[in-house]
Structure 1
């Protein structure tokens, strides 16, 4: 009788470990996708604000997926990089 209880306890602990392991495997990519979406949103806001004020100087950065991702991932240094590339390449 005591042997059955110990086996049941080990089986329950093993099941909890498997649930934890599978949860951590599947949640990491979801966290990464959520972080990319949030950073892209803030990158879009940064570029929109820059283009709003840059319109007074006839200077803007096009809004596309690449510029939004650069501004989102790098933040203010990404915006400076985009400005530099716009000035150097004249694109």
Structure 2
């Protein structure tokens, strides 16, 4: 696609959103969910960096990032226990 066409479409969408507004509740909910998943992935990354000295490795994928993001540090601990004792 032509870059001018893409920029025009994005600009038009921004103008439409400014005129009509956006439904804030669903966007806020989706945004918070995405932020929690990213934070969960960072938790797992730091666990893998620190845990590499102890032989701990939990794979980082959508499911594990969601679990650790929604549950926080107890979720990371649960994933670590599952990785060590069950798998």
TM-score w.r.t. the length of structure 2 is 0.70
- Is residue 2:73 matched to residue 1:41? no
Paired with 2:54 and 2:73, the residues of 1 have a C-alpha distance of 20
Higher-Rg structure is: 1
Question: When you count helix as a share of all residues, which structure comes out higher?
Answer: 1
The answer for unaligned runs of 5 or more in structure 2 is 1-20
**Which digits, 9 at most, give the CA deviation of each residue in 1:39-86, with x for residues without a partner?**
111111110000001111121100100000001111101101111211
Deviation for aligned residue 1:88: 2.8
1:58 and 1:47 mapped to 2: Cα distance?
A: 14
Out of 63, 67, 74, which is 1:77 matched to? 74
Paired with 1:75 and 1:39, the residues of 2 have a C-alpha distance of 9
What is the TM-score normalised by the length of structure 1? 0.67
SS in structure 2 of the partner of residue 56 of structure 1: coil
| Residue in 2 that maps onto 1:10 | none
Of 15, 28, 42, the residue aligned with 1:31 is 28
